Amino acid sequence: MIEFRGVHHSYGDREVLRGIDLVLDGPRTGIIGANGSGKSTLARMINGLVEPASGQVLVDGLDVSRHGREVRRRVAFVFPDPEAQIVMPTVSEDIAFSLRRRRLTREAVDARIDAALARFGLADHRDHPAHLLSSGQKQLLALASVTAVEPAILVADEPTTMLDRRHTRTVMRHLEALDQQLVLVSHQLELFASWERVVVVDEGRVVADGPGVESIDFYRRLMDGETTEGGGGGASAVRHPDGGTSGPGRTDGTGPRC
Ligand SMILES: Nc1ncnc2c1ncn2[C@@H]1O[C@H](COP(=O)(O)OP(=O)(O)OP(=O)(O)O)[C@@H](O)[C@H]1O
């Protein structure tokens, strides 16, 4: 379970998160919002890549700022730019590198590499130089390396931006089938149409939190200027699937009505 408690964050004097109170406890949560609204900052806090200026982020009850190492063992992160996480010369070595701390036998490592390559359509590229992969293949390798670890929580920030429709479908099918908790940030709204929970972030606040279709509809209206809600107002017409308007941990009861 992931919990944000009164989280604020600024870069210099630019305030980018303005009081986030959120509990992410379902198997999948989508995060959508305008450019610069704070989605990546929020996502990066889940494994301590960014620490809140004030407030707390907890993962399974562990304060991320104080227990970073333990949290990072549970939470894996996929960056929008795969170059940021490909570190080894070949495809299979890169996946093996992500498994280095897992105390697996050589056979188990090989089995996980094979499974990850097959899952993301890279089986033919086992010994391929990683830097010579296409942009989309690099994104697939980043996903293969991270999911091979089988983290308890996977946070993926725009992991499909460079993928064609077929590979996007393959990746989404795999991500949606994971047993682990998934938090996915994306501008590809159609990915979330059937999701039970999608959070809309606007100007550093959660402005909607509910079923995918409703959150997407709210976000579209927000972007089209058909609602004055969001931004400074922090209100939302979207209800959370549990039916609550300010359920425990979902919001602080003073911010968005979810
Ligand atoms: N390391 C940083 N230093 C300074 N400012 C930053 C940094 N990271 C993000 N920002 C600023 O914080 C704001 C929120 O950025 P963030 O990346 O969280 O937004 P986002 O919603 O993920 O945007 P996008 O959809 O464009 O990826 C932006 O104004 C951005 O310029």
What's the domain range around 159?
A: 2-223
Residue 105: which pLDDT band, with cuts at 50, 70 and 90? Answer: very high
7 CA from centroid of ligand 1 (Å):
16
Is the predicted pLDDT of residue 151 greater than 50, yes or no? yes
Nearest CA to ligand 1 atom 4: 11
- For residue 251, being part of any structural domain is answered with no
- Please write down the HEC assignment for all residues of the chain: CEEEEEEEEEECCEEEEEEEEEEECCCEEEEEECCCCCHHHHHHHCCCCCCCCEEEEEECCEECCCCHHHHHHHEEEECCCHHHCCCCCEHHHHHHHHCCCCCCCHHHHHHHHHHHHHHCCCHHHCCCEHHHCCHHHHHHHHHHHHHHCCCCEEEEECCCCCCCHHHHHHHHHHHHHCCCEEEEECCCHHHHCCCCCEEEEECCEEEEEECHHHHHHHHHHHHCCCCCCCCCCCCCCCCCCCCCCCCCCCCCCCCCCC
Which pLDDT score is estimated for 177?
87
Tokens 């690099």, residue located = 138
How remote is the CA of residue 38 from the centroid of ligand 1, in Å?
Answer: 6
Q: Which residue has the CA at smallest separation from atom 16 of ligand 1?
A: 38
Beta bridge partners of 199: 31, 209
204 C-beta closer than 6 A to ligand 1:
no
**Ligand 1 centre from 40 Cα, in Å?**
7
> Is residue 34 in a domain?
yes
Tell whether 152 is covered by a domain: yes
Per-residue confidence at 126, pLDDT binned at 50, 70, 90?
Answer: very high
Q: Is residue 138 part of a domain?
A: yes
| Residue (of 132, 152, 156) closest to 144 by Cα position | 156
> Tens digit of pLDDT for each residue in 227-249?
655 444 444 444 444 444 333 23
Regarding the beta carbon of 13 and ligand 1, being less than 6 Å apart is answered no
108 in any annotated domain = yes
Given a cut of 70, whether residue 135 has pLDDT beyond it is yes
Q: Could you tell me what percent of the chain has a pLDDT over 90?
A: 76
Distance CA(110)–CA(186), nearest Å, equals: 31
Neighbours of 65 (CB within 10 A): 15
- Per-residue model confidence as pLDDT tens digits over 48-70: 999 999 999 999 999 999 999 99
Q: Are 29 and 184 in contact (CB under 8 A)?
A: yes
Average pLDDT value for residue range 120-142: 93
Asked if residue 39 belongs to a domain, the reply is yes
Bridge-based pairing state of the strands 28-33 and 181-185: parallel
Tell me, yes or no, whether 176 lies in a domain: yes
Provide the domain count of the chain. 1
The CATH number linked to 140 is 3.40.50.300
CA atoms of 1 and 14, how far apart (whole Å): 29
pLDDT band for position 179 (cuts 50, 70, 90): confident
For residue 3 the two structure tokens come to 């919990």
User: Is the C-beta atom of 80 inside 6 A of ligand 1?
Assistant: no
Q: Is 256 a member of any domain? A: no
* Residues 44, 47, 48, 52, Cα dihedral to 10°: 60
The confidence score (pLDDT) of residue 228 equals 56
